[in-house]
């Protein structure tokens, strides 16, 4: 496992939202009400970017078709058309004064 740093803790605050590309992964790191979340940057329904998604009540809502996903584990909570797979989420890992994720390669 290797630690991949994404952001310095000092730069994080509520409303923070930034996209990262790590190898073939496109990730979105957000902070909402003091909690930090890391998940894939595009909706699993039809790949709409989630940068402008609405976050609240423990879920993220894609702005295109309003599918809701759990912030804790990415599961689909609400669909307006055909169900889709869960949103891929990643554990936020802290090392020193940075936040990042662990990758297996």
Tell me the CA end-to-end span of the chain in Å, nearest whole number: 6
Q: Using the rule CB under 6 A, is 64 a contact of ligand FES?
A: yes
| Closest approach of ligand FES to the CB of residue 74, in Å | 13
Nearest-angstrom CA–CA distance, 1 and 101? 10
The Cα-based distances of 91 to 13, 46, 80 in angstroms read 18, 24, 28
Residue range at the interface with ligand FES (CB under 6 A); choices 13-21, 27-35, 60-68, 88-96: 60-68
Residue (6 or 62) nearer to ligand FES, CB: 62
Closest approach of ligand FES to the CB of residue 83, in Å: 11
Residue 88 touching ligand FES (CB under 6 A): no
CA distances from 64 to 21, 42, 43 (A): 22, 11, 9
Q: Which positions lie near ligand FES, rule CB under 6 A?
A: 43, 45-46, 48, 62, 64-65, 67
């Amino acid at each position: 496992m290797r630690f991949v740093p994404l952001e310095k803790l000092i730069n994080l605050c509520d409303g923070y939202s930034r996209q990262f590309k790590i190898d073939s992964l496109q990730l979105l790191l957000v902070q909402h009400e003091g909690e930090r979340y890391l998940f894939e940057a595009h909706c699993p329904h039809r790949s709409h970017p989630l940068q402008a998604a609405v976050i609240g009540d423990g879920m993220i809502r894609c702005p295109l078709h309003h599918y809701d996903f759990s912030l804790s584990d990415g599961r689909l909570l609400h669909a307006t058309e055909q169900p889709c797979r869960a949103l891929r989420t990643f554990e936020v890992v802290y090392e020193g004064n940075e936040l990042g994720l662990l990758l297996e390669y």
